[in-house]
């Protein structure tokens, strides 16, 4: 079996069970794939060094080999805080108003991608499959091709692909997409993002794209397809049975008081998650339903994210103000409507919190997938399940049509959905939950990974005419990687 080389901005190997921290299902799934394929996970250590050395730190943890590099402050500023999170992230989440175009960011992005390419190159053996993740590393594949890498290479984009009319506002948009076409396989989360991507290829680049996603470009064939990511269902259910999860459930239930219902939101503190609009909707619900108001509480867990970027500082400030204002307007001595918590929790604890909540309130304005929606469903008691209220603009929505789907921009819509969910009869809750659970369980992260790697291997028609590629000398495997 060919080895797998996974490349992503961050590298995260799950700790031993029990010490389960705040890593997502992605880390669990990729680690499992790497174990199976005897592969290597390469990326940024998350650490800063005074000046870039290219030193590769190789480690073996839980049977997974990782290789990381440190970046220098200018790299982090221009590549991660800059082009990745001040240019691509807002633009790809349809926030052209927050998108910053700065040549220094673009140069930093190219420089760090080139550093990734130089550093990972010696680790790649001739039969390896190379799987690159996300918007931080779109041109990496083309840089590796320039260095003679002929291996099969795939890219998976975890975030949306924007409509062409927005995307063309990016300087050098065509160059960026042309560089992506050096991969053999391009995976997006949903058919909608896939349509936007192929629309761009056809309209702006005049390329032919077949109905099954085969793109013809410079005599090569590249496949673009939707691969919706899921959670690691088995692992999540196991973590929900731990003492940590059960303790969290009980603590929260006890704190609510008799008969009070709870809504839960769990999101990185990011403007794409629609937290301000969510608070406004809850405010509206309290105002429009005074007879129910004191019987509900919204628990919003929002760990800070990308705190060096101004738009993230601003949203944090706005939310603090808004939560304070709503609580000030509605609270009484024995009840506060919003519990707003700016810290992260291990997922086992989250599982307990989700189970204690009558409503999962997941209302991003735009989201690549949203794994929290899937975790909420997986954590419910099937006999007496809670109701998922889900934004129709989350990548998860097409797979989760039995949720109460809402327009997160409309406070009326979300307020009505809260009311509907609180009154939903048990048989309807069970019916909806049963169907949601089936899709969360069956379309899990293992299936996602197997589908992607299978397609990259060419098992599902992703074959690429390798003879169209230049030969290159075999890479030398560093001693540490063997
Ligand atoms: O690494 P950070 O800058 O701290 O950000 C965390 C991750 O955020 C994004 O997650 C996306 O991937 C999820 C899994 O596919 C998906 O469910 C979610 O909708 C996306 O927003 C980002 O794409 C990752 O690269 C970051 O590591
Ligand atoms: O305090 C927290 C908040 C979130 N998460 C996890 O972070 C992931 C968030 O993924 P999602 O796809 O919802 O959004 P993203 O943050 O990747 O945009 C989920 O697995 C959550 O369980 C966590 O472990 N602890």
CATH number of the domain where residue 323 is located? 3.40.50.2000
Whether residue 211 is found in the same domain as residue 297: no
Please list the pLDDT of the chain residue by residue as tens digits (482 residues).
789 999 999 998 766 443 434 455 677 778 878 888 889 999 999 999 999 999 999 999 878 899 999 999 999 999 999 999 999 999 999 999 999 999 999 999 999 999 999 999 999 999 999 999 999 999 999 999 999 999 999 999 999 999 999 999 999 999 999 999 999 999 999 999 999 999 999 999 999 999 999 999 999 999 999 999 999 999 899 999 999 999 999 999 999 987 899 999 999 999 999 999 999 999 999 999 999 999 999 999 999 999 999 999 999 999 999 999 999 999 999 999 999 999 999 999 999 999 999 999 999 999 999 999 999 999 999 999 999 999 999 999 999 999 999 999 999 999 999 999 999 999 999 999 999 999 999 999 999 999 999 999 987 544 444 333 434 333 332 323 32
Encoded tokens for 20: 């389960």
In a domain, 163, yes or no: yes
Neighbours of 439 (CB within 10 A): 18
Looking at ligand 2, which residue's alpha carbon is closest to its atom 20?
A: 24
Q: Helix, strand, coil: what percent of the chain each, to 5?
A: 50, 20, 35
Gap from CA of 472 to ligand 2 centroid (Å): 41
Nearest-5° angle of CA 439, CA 356, CA 288?
A: 95
State whether 142 and 183 are in the same domain: yes
User: Is the distance from the beta carbon of residue 157 to the nearest atom of ligand 1 less than 6 Å?
Assistant: no
Give the closest residue (by CA) to ligand 2 atom 16: 268
Compute CA 18 distance to the chain's CA centroid, rounded to the nearest angstrom.
24
Closest residue to atom 22 of ligand 1, CA basis: 158
Are residues 323 and 205 part of one domain?
A: no
Q: Is residue 87 part of a domain?
A: yes
Q: How far apart are CA 49 and CA 53, in angstroms?
A: 8
> What is the tally of structural domains in the chain?
2
Is residue 308 domain-shared with residue 165, that is, in the same domain? Answer: no
- Same-domain pairing of 71 and 206: yes
List of long-range contacts for 18-22, beta carbons under 8 Å, 24+ apart: 18/242, 20/239, 20/346, 20/347, 20/348, 21/346, 22/303, 22/344, 22/345, 22/346, 22/347
Looking at the structure, do residues 271 and 370 belong to the same domain, yes or no? yes
Give a yes or no: residue 481 inside a domain.
Answer: no
Dump the DSSP string for 187-250.
EESSHHHHHHHHHHHHHHH--EE-TT-EEEETTEEEEEEE------HHHHHHHHTSHHHHHHHH
Query: Does ligand 2 come within 6 angstroms of the Cβ of 158?
Result: no
Torsional sign, CA 371, 278, 323, 367: positive
Q: 382-411 b/e with 16+ CB inside 10 Å = b?
A: eeebbbbbbbebbbbbebbebbbbbbbeeb
Residue 180 located in a structural domain: yes
Q: Specify whether 242 is located in the same domain as 177.
A: no
DSSP conformation class of 176: H
| 336 part of a folded domain | yes
Please state the separation of Cα 90 from the chain's center in Å: 14
**Strands ordered across the beta sheet of 57-61:** 57-61, 64-71, 40-48, 4-10, 129-133, 153-156, 185-188, 220-226, 214-217, 208-209
Q: Which domain holds residue 435?
A: 233-442
Q: Catalytic amino acids?
A: 158, 367
Sign of the CA dihedral running 18, 23, 29, 34: negative
480 found inside a domain: no
Nearest atom within ligand 1 for CA of residue 26: 14
For helices 191-205 and 173-180, what crossing angle results, to 10°?
120
> Is 144 in the same domain as 243?
no
CA distance 246 to 64: 30
Look-up: residue for tokens 């086992």?
Answer: 348
For tokens 């290829």, the residue is 201
Q: Is the ipTM of this complex over 0.95?
A: yes
- Cβ-contact 39, 4 below 8 angstroms: yes
Task: Give me ligand 1 centre to Cα 187, in Å.
Answer: 15
pTM over 0.80: yes
Ligand 1 pocket test: pick from 368, 390, 447, 448 the residue with the most ligand atoms within 8 Å of its Cβ. 368
Residue 198: Cβ within 10 Å count: 19
Same domain, 203 and 142: yes
pLDDT of residue 14: 65
Which tokens is 121 given?
């190159």
**Do 183 and 318 lie in a common domain?**
no
Query: Using a 6 Å cutoff on CB, does residue 372 contact ligand 2?
Result: yes
Closest atom of ligand 1 to CA, residue 305? 4
Cα 347 to ligand 2 centre (Å): 8
Task: Catalogue the E-assigned strands of 354-460.
Answer: 359-362, 387-391, 404-406
Clarify whether residues 10 and 159 are in a common domain: yes
Ligand 2: atom nearest CA of 273 is: 18
Task: Ligand 2, residue 369: give the atom nearest the CA.
Answer: 12
Q: Which ligand is nearest to the CA of 24?
A: 2
Residue-by-residue DSSP string for 235-295: HHHHHHTSHHHHHHHHHHHHHH-TT-EEEEEE--S-GGG-HHHHHHHHHHHHHH-HHHHTT
Whether 74 is in a domain gets the answer: yes
Strands 208-209 vs 153-156: parallel, antiparallel or unpaired? unpaired
Which atom of ligand 2 is nearest to 229's Cα?
12
The answer to whether 164 touches 199, Cβ cutoff 8 Å, is yes
- So what's the pLDDT on residue 24? 58
Closest-CA residue, ligand 2 atom 6, reads 24
Q: Do 452 and 338 belong together in one domain?
A: no
Would you say 42 and 5 are in contact if contact means Cβ atoms under 8 Å apart? yes
Answer yes or no: is the C-beta of 350 below 6 A from any ligand 2 atom: yes
Q: Specify the pLDDT at position 19.
A: 40
pLDDT for position 460? 56
Residue among 136, 312, 347, 374 to mutate when testing ligand 2 (max atoms within 8 A of CB): 347
Say how many CA atoms lie within 13 Å of 3 toward its Cβ. 17
Whether 475 is in a domain gets the answer no
**SS3 state of residue 70:** strand
Instruction: Output the CA 83–ligand 1 centroid distance in Å.
Output: 16
């Amino acid at each position: 079996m060919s080895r797998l080389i996974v490349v992503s901005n961050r590298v995260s190997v799950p700790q031993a069970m029990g010490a389960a921290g705040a890593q997502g299902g992605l880390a669990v799934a990729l680690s499992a794939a790497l174990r199976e394929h005897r592969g290597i996970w390469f990326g940024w250590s998350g650490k800063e060094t005074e000046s870039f050395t290219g030193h590769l730190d190789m480690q073996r943890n839980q049977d997974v080999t990782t290789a990381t590099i440190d970046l220098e402050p200018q790299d982090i500023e221009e590549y991660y805080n800059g082009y990745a999170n001040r240019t691509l992230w807002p633009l790809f989440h349809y926030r052209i108003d927050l998108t910053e175009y700065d040549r220094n960011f673009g140069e930093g992005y190219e420089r760090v991608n080139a550093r990734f390419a130089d550093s990972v190159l010696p680790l790649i053996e001739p039969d390896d499959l190379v799987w690159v993740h996300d918007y931080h590393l779109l041109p990496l594949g083309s840089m590796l091709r320039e260095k003679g890498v002929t291996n099969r290479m795939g890219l998976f984009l975890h975030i949306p692909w924007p409509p062409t009319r927005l995307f063309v506002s990016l300087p050098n948009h065509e160059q960026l997409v042309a560089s992506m076409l050096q991969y053999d396989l391009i995976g997006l989360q949903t058919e909608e993002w896939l349509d936007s991507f192929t629309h761009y290829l056809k309209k702006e680049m005049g390329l032919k794209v077949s109905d099954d996603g085969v793109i013809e470009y410079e005599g090569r064939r590249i496949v673009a397809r939707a691969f919706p990511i899921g959670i690691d269902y088995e692992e999540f259910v196991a973590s929900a049975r731990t003492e940590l999860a059960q303790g969290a459930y009980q603590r929260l239930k006890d704190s609510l008081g008799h008969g009070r219902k709870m809504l839960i939101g769990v999101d990185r503190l990011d403007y794409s998650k629609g937290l301000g609009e969510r608070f406004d909707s809850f405010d509206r619900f309290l105002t429009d339903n005074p007879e129910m108001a004191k019987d509900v509480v919204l628990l919003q867990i929002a760990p800070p994210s990308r705190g060096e970027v101004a738009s993230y500082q601003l949203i944090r400030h706005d939310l603090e103000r808004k939560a304070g204002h709503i609580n000030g307007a509605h609270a009484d001595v024995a009840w506060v409507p919003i519990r707003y918590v700016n810290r992260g929790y291990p997922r086992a604890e989250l599982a307990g919190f989700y189970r204690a909540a009558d409503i999962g309130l997941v209302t991003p304005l735009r989201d690549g997938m949203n794994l929290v929606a899937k975790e909420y469903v997986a954590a419910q008691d099937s006999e007496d399940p809670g109701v998922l209220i889900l934004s129709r603009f989350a990548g998860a929505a097409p797979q989760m049509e039995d949720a109460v789907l809402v327009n997160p921009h409309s406070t009326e819509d979300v307020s009505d959905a809260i009311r509907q969910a609180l009154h939903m009869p048990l048989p309807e809750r069970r019916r909806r939950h049963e169907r949601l659970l089936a899709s969360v369980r069956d379309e899990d992260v293992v299936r996602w990974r197997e589908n992607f790697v299978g397609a990259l291997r060419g098992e599902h028609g992703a074959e690429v005419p390798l003879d169209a590629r230049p030969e290159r000398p075999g890479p030398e495997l560093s001693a540490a990687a063997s």
